[in-house]
Each structure stands twice: as structure tokens, then as C-alpha cells.
Amino acid sequence: MNSTVPPYIAQWFQELPVVYIVFIGVCACVFIAISVATAIMVWRIHYYVPNEYVQADLYFIVLVPFIVSSVCLIGNIIPRAAPVTYAVGLVFLMLCLHVTVLIIVRLFGTRNGMAKWLLEHNKVLHFDVRPYCCCCHCLPGMSPTPKKVRRLTYFVRQSPIVRVVLQVAIVILGVEGISDQSA
């Protein structure tokens, strides 16, 4: 199985050691448990959150474990679909990041309300936090003015668009047979 072309499902499972098949079965059981937990959370959001806008945003956040585990399981079972499922998972995570920012801003009413609260409580926006602590350690803290908060939210909102464009390009290059090994 040391090939650059991913195998078909039948070939994949014929050449796969039994221990890996057992682990894929364990992953399937974990996926079923995650699916049940997600269904319960979706049901609770539907019945206990009255605001439809908040419901829609919370559905995105609650579905993260289900979507991530499903694309991982599909990628492990169908190796030829792994790049596409990886792209779908990353795009969904970027969309959830966008929705998370929307939820946080809605908690404060507006970006101006958020900036006002941060200023009233003497909060500073730090960029030397995980996972960026190594590469952004030299950046100073930033006072949360409404203009700066607006810029930060725009950067976060653009990340799904940038990620979608990059993933589409990567998938197209993969379909065309262009990869690191062929360069």
C-alpha cells in the first residue's frame, strides 16, 4: 500500500491489518455515541432556546463534533474521499469560527457594545495566546476600540472564504494529479 494513489475501498480493507479494522470499528462506535449526543443537544436547543437566530447559530456549534467525526470516519473508510472530506471538515470549522464570533458579538448587542464592555473592564486584546504564542509573542496587546474590534471581526469573517478558495484549489490540483511528489 505504499502508493501515491489512494486505494479503492475493497483493496484498502483487503490489505489493512486486522488491528486497524478493529480501530475503525471502535471509531464507528464512538461516532454513533457522538451522533446520539448531538441529537440530544439539537433537540434541547430546539425546545429550550426561544430565539430562532440564536438557535441557528447554536446548531452550527453543536454540530461540530458530529461533522468532524463523520468526515474523519468517512476519510478512514474511503481513502480516495479523504481529501474531500478533510476539505469539508475544515470549511465547516471555519464557518463555525465565524458563527462563534457572531454569537459573541450578539451577546454584547453590537461590536461597539463589546468594545465598550472590554474598555470598561480594562481588558486588552492579546495575540500571544495559544496556538499563536510562538509566532505572535512580539506583538503588543491592543486596546479594544470599536474600530479595532470591527477589524478583528472582519478578519475572522473572511477566514472561511479564504479557506474555501484554498481548499477548492487544493482539491482541483489533487484531481489533476498535481501534488508535492510530482513537483
Low-confidence residues of the chain: pLDDT under 50:
183
pLDDT at 130: 66
Residue 46's closest CA among 62, 30, 25? 62
Q: pLDDT tens digit string along 98-121? A: 888 888 888 888 888 888 888 898
Neighbours of 59 (CB within 10 A): 16
Question: 77, 136 in Cβ contact below 8 A?
Answer: no
Sign of the four-CA dihedral 70, 74, 80, 81: negative
At 81 the pLDDT is 87
Contacts of 75 (CB under 8 A, 6+ apart): 81, 82, 85, 86
pTM here? Answer: 0.74
Identify the pLDDT of residue 36: 98
What three-state secondary structure class fits 117? Answer: helix
